[in-house]
Amino acid sequence: MRLYIIFILVSGLCHNLQCIQLGNPTDPIDLQLQEKLLKILERIRLERNYDTIVIYGQSGGEDCLFHELLPKLQLPTVLLTKGSSLSDWSFSSDSLLLCCDSKAEQEQNTRSLLRLQQARRLVYLESEMQPQWLCEDYFEREQHNVAMMNAQGDLFSCRLFQEINHVQLDINSDSKYNSDSIYVQQFRNMKGAVIRSEPDQLAPRSMLYHDPVTGNIKMGGYVANLVNTFVERVNATLPLRDDLKFGENYGLFDLIKRTHHNQLDIATSLLGIFGDENLDYVSYPYYSTSYCFMLPVPAKLPYNQIYTIIVDPPVLGIIMVLFVILSLLLIYSQELSWRQLSLANVVLNDRSLRGLLGQSFILSDNPSRHMKAICLILFFAGLMITTMYQAYLQTLYTSPPLEEMLHSFEDFQNSRYKIALWRYEMEKVESISNVSLSTARNIAIFDLYTDFIKIRDTFNASFIYTVSKQRWRTYAEQQKSFKEQAFYYSDDVCFSRFVLFGFPLRRHLPYRQQFEQHILHMHAFGLTQFWISRSFYDMVHFNTTTLKDYSNTRMHGAVFLRDLVYIFEFYAAFHLLACFCFAIECFWARFRRTVAIKNV
Ligand SMILES: *[C@@H]1O[C@H](CO)[C@@H](O)[C@H](O)[C@H]1NC(C)=O
Ligand SMILES: *[C@@H]1O[C@H](CO)[C@@H](O)[C@H](O)[C@H]1NC(C)=O
Ligand SMILES: *[C@@H]1O[C@H](CO)[C@@H](O)[C@H](O)[C@H]1NC(C)=O
Ligand SMILES: *[C@@H]1O[C@H](CO)[C@@H](O)[C@H](O)[C@H]1NC(C)=O
C-alpha cells in the first residue's frame, strides 16, 4: 500500500519535472540532438519571444523530435498532425512553427495561412533534402521566415535576395555577439526586385509624368509618393507600363480586381473602408477624412432687392410712432394748448415729416422755449434716421448680403441645385446609412466617376457635389486664385464624418508589415501632411488642373438704372397720390366757395 502511494507520487513528480526520458529511454545521439535543439529554441526566443508553438506533422505515425521536447518548453501548443488546421484559428504573429519534416506543413485553411505567413518556422530537415530546395519551396509559398536543422544538428536559415538562398549558422556562437541572427527582415533590402503597382490617376492622389532627366514615366501625388518612397526605402524597383495613357482613368475597381487576382502587389490608389470590406486586401489606413458636400456659395442679393430689405417693419413702426409723438408735441408747444389738434395736423404734419427726413422747415418768428426744445429733438432724430439709412444702403450696395445658406438635406432638395452623385457612391451610402437617395427629387446620378469628376472640376454651380475633406483642400487652394469663392465645404451635411482610406494590397503580400510601418513612419515624419498640403501645386505641376477662374461673376460692380426700378415705381406712385390729393383739394375748395355764394 505504502509502496503504491510512493509510486504514484514519483510518477506524478516525474511528470511535473519533465523526466520524460525515464519513461522511454533514447540513445545518446538523440539526446545530443535534443540538447542542440533546445539551444536553438532558446536562441530564437532571445531574438524575439514566441508565445505559442504550432507543430506540423508526425514522422511515420509517431511523434517526431519536436514532440519529445514539448514538456520542457511549457508553452501553449497546437498540434496539427495532418498538416493543416481545419477551422479558422487566429494565430498570433508571435507563434513559432515547428515542422517535423519538409513536407509536414500543408496548410489549406486560407485564414491560418495568412495569419501564419509572418510567423517563424523551424523545419527538421531529412537527410536526403537539401537546404537550398527547402528554401526555394518555402519562398514559392511566400513564407520567408524559415530556418532548418538537420540530423547532425546543423542550423541553416533561408535568405531571400541572395545568390545562395541560405546560410549556415553556428549554434554555439552567442547570438548577442553574432550579427547574423537566425531570422532576418528579408525585405529590408530587396536588391532591385520588382514591386508591381499602378496608379489610378485620380488627381491629386496619383498622377503620371515624364521624368525630365531619364524620360521614363513616373508617378507623383501624395498617394504615389508613399509608394515611391517605400520602393526607395527597400531598394526595390517600380517599373510602370510604357503603354499607360496619361490622364486615362482606369478606375479604382480595375486596380482592386487586379490586386485580388495577384496581378498587382500594391495599387497606388485608396479604398474607403466603410466597414464591409475584406481587410485582408486593404492596408493599414493611410489617413482618415470626412465625407461631406461642397455647395455653391449662395448668390448675392440683387441690387434692386436691397431697397426692399433695408426697411425693417419694426423699425418703420418705431419711426411712425416717433413721428406721431413729435407731431403732437409740435402742435402743443406752438401755443401750449391743443386747439390746433386735428387728425390732418397729426398725420400730415409737414414740419415733423421734414424734420425726420433731415429737411429744413420754417419756424415761427418767436418760438417759445418749448418749441425750441422740441425742434432740437426733431433735428437729432432726423439726423440719426438719415445717416442710419444712408450707411445701411451704401454698405449693402458695396457688399450685398448672401441669399440663404443650405443646412440640411431637406434644404438641398428644396433648393434650385441638383445633387450630383456617382452611382457607386450612392449605393454605398444607401447600404450604410439606410437612407434612400435615389428617390430624392433633384438628384443627378453619374454612372462614370470621370464624368462626375469632370463636372465637379469645372465648379459648375448648378450642382451640389459630394467630396472628401482631403480633396476639398485642393479645391479650396484652387479658389484662392479665383475672383470670388465659388464653393464652400459644408460641415453640416455629411455622409460620414470619419472614413478611413487604405491601400488595396495583394492578400499574401509578404512585406505588408514593412509597408504598413512605412505608412506610420511617413506620418511620424510629417511627410504625409506635407504631401497633402501641397497636392494642389502638384496638380498644377503635372498639368492635371488649370488655373482658370471658374468663379461665378453673376454680380457686376456697377449699379444700373434697372436696379433702381422699384424706387422709380414708388416715386411715380406717390406723385400720382399727391396729384390726386391736390385735385381733391381744388374741387373741395371750389365746392365750398359755390356753397358759400349760394348761401349769400
Ligand atoms: C540596391 O539594389 C541594387 C540592385 O538593384 C544593388 O546593386 C545595390 O547594392 C542595392 N543597394 C544597397 C544599399 O544594398
Ligand atoms: C431602414 O429603414 C427602414 C424604413 O425606412 C426601416 O424599416 C428599417 O428597419 C431600417 N433598417 C435599419 C437596419 O435601420
Ligand atoms: C453646368 O451643367 C449643366 C448641366 O450639365 C449645363 O447645362 C450648364 O451649361 C453647365 N454650366 C456651366 C457653366 O458649364
Ligand atoms: C496640359 O494639358 C492640356 C490638355 O489637358 C494640353 O493641351 C497641354 O498641352 C498640356 N501641357 C503640357 C505642358 O503638357
Q: Render pLDDT for 518-550 as a digit per residue (tens, 0 to 9).
A: 999 999 999 999 999 999 999 999 888 888 888
Residues 401, 300: Cα–Cα separation, whole Å? 6
Would you say 183 and 157 are in contact if contact means Cβ atoms under 8 Å apart?
yes
Q: Which residues pair with 445 in a beta bridge?
A: 421
Nearest CA to ligand 3 atom 14: 460
- What was the pLDDT predicted at 223? 95
Same domain assignment for residues 312 and 169:
no
Ligand closest to 435 (CA) is 2
* Domain presence at residue 360: yes
User: What distance in angstroms lies between residue 241's CA and the mean position of ligand 3's atoms?
Assistant: 36
- pLDDT for position 12: 37
Strands 155-158 and 166-169: antiparallel
Judge whether 280 and 235 are in contact, CB under 8 Å: no
**Torsion angle of alpha carbons 468, 472, 473, 479, nearest 10°?**
180
Q: Is residue 158 one of the residues assigned to a domain? A: yes
* C-alpha 585: how far from chain center: 75
Does 45 map to a domain? yes
Last residue of a domain, one of 148, 165, 180: 180
Return the pLDDT at 18: 42
> Residue 405 belongs to what H/E stretch?
none
Q: What is the pLDDT of residue 19?
A: 40
Nearest CA to ligand 3 atom 13: 460
Question: What sign does the dihedral 404-410-416-418 (CA atoms) show?
Answer: positive
Query: Which residue's C-alpha comes closest to atom 7 of ligand 1?
Result: 191
The number of the ligand nearest the C-alpha atom of 462 reads 3
C-alpha to C-alpha distances, 466 to 200, 422, 437, 490, nearest whole angstrom: 19, 9, 13, 10
Instruction: Please tell me the residue having the least CA distance from ligand 1 atom 10.
Output: 191
* Residue 174 confidence (pLDDT): 60
Choosing from 190, 191, 232 the residue with most ligand 1 atoms within 8 A of its CB, the one to mutate for a pocket test is 191
Output the CA–CA distances (angstroms, integers) from residue 110 to 90, 262, 486, 513, in the order listed: 11, 15, 51, 18
Q: What CATH number corresponds to the domain at position 138?
A: 3.40.50
189 lines ligand 1 (CB under 6 A): yes
What string of DSSP letters covers 19-87?
-HHHHS---HHHHHHHHHHHHHHHHHHHHS---EEEEE--BTTB--HHHHHHHHH-S-EEEETTSS-SS
Q: How far apart are CA 166 and CA 194, in angstroms?
A: 21
- pLDDT for 557 equals 67
> Counting atoms of ligand 1 from 1, which one is nearest the CA of 189?
14
Contact 166, 135 (CB under 8 A): yes
Q: Is residue 578 part of a domain?
A: yes
Centroid of chain to Cα 429? 15
Q: Measuring from each residue's beta carbon to the nearest atom of ligand 3, which residues come in under 6 Å?
A: 458, 460, 462
**Amino acid 176: pLDDT:** 53
Which residue's alpha carbon is at the smallest distance from atom 5 of ligand 1? 192
Q: How far does residue 232's CA lie from ligand 1's centre (Å)?
A: 10
Which DSSP symbol is given to 337?
A: S
Q: Could you tell me if residue 21 is inside a domain?
A: no
The single residue listed with the C-alpha cell 449699379 is 559
* Ligand 1 proximity of 52 Cβ (cutoff 6 Å): no
Closest listed residue to residue 470, CA positions, set 445, 493, 489: 489
Please give the residue range of the domain that contains residue 332: 307-398
> Which of 421, 442, 455, 460 to mutate to test ligand 3, by most ligand atoms within 8 A of the CB atom?
460
| Number of the ligand closest to the Cα of 546 | 4
Nearest atom in ligand 3 to 418's CA: 4
Contact of 146 with 84, CB cutoff 8 Å:
no
CA–CA separation, 439 and 62 (whole Å): 68
Chain centroid to Cα 403, Å, comes to 29
Please return the burial class of 6, using the count of CB atoms within 10 Å of its CB with bins 0-12, 13-18 and 19+.
Answer: exposed
- Boundary residue ending a domain (398, 432, 452): 398
Low-confidence ranges of the chain (pLDDT < 50): 1-23, 25
Which residues, listed in sequence order, are joined to residue 378 by a DSSP beta bridge? none
The sheet carrying 52-56 orders its strands as 77-80, 52-56, 95-99, 120-125, 146-150, 155-158, 166-169
Please indicate whether residue 161, judged by its CB atom, sits closer than 6 Å to ligand 1: no
Q: Which helix (H) or strand (E) holds 286?
A: strand 282-296
**Which residues sit opposite 559 in a β-bridge?**
none
Residue 208 resides in a domain: no
Domain end: 153, 180, 207, which one?
180
Question: Residue 191 C-alpha to ligand 1 middle, in angstroms?
Answer: 5
DSSP-assigned letter for residue 593 = H
Considering the domain boundaries, does residue 1 fall inside one?
no
CA-proximal residue: ligand 3, atom 9 (nearest): 460
Looking at the CA of 463, which ligand is closest?
Answer: 3
What is the structure's pLDDT at 61?
64
Give CA separation, 182 vs 65, 73, 140, 208, 273, in Å: 20, 19, 20, 42, 37
Indicate whether 583 belongs to any domain. yes
Ordered alpha helix ranges (H), 348-493: 350-356, 369-398, 409-414, 423-433, 449-457, 469-479
Indicate if 176 and 312 belong to the same structural domain: no
Q: Specify the amino acid at residue 52.
A: T
Type of residue numbered 553: T
Distances (CA, A) of 383 to 326, 379, 391, 572: 15, 6, 12, 26
Strand 266-268 and strand 197-199: the pairing is parallel
Q: Distance (Å, rounded) from C-alpha 393 to C-alpha 307?
A: 8
CB 118, CB 145: distance < 8 Å = yes
Judge if the beta carbon of residue 188 lies within 6 A of ligand 1.
no
Indicate the number of domains in the chain. Answer: 3
Q: Residue 191: CB within 6 Å of ligand 1?
A: yes
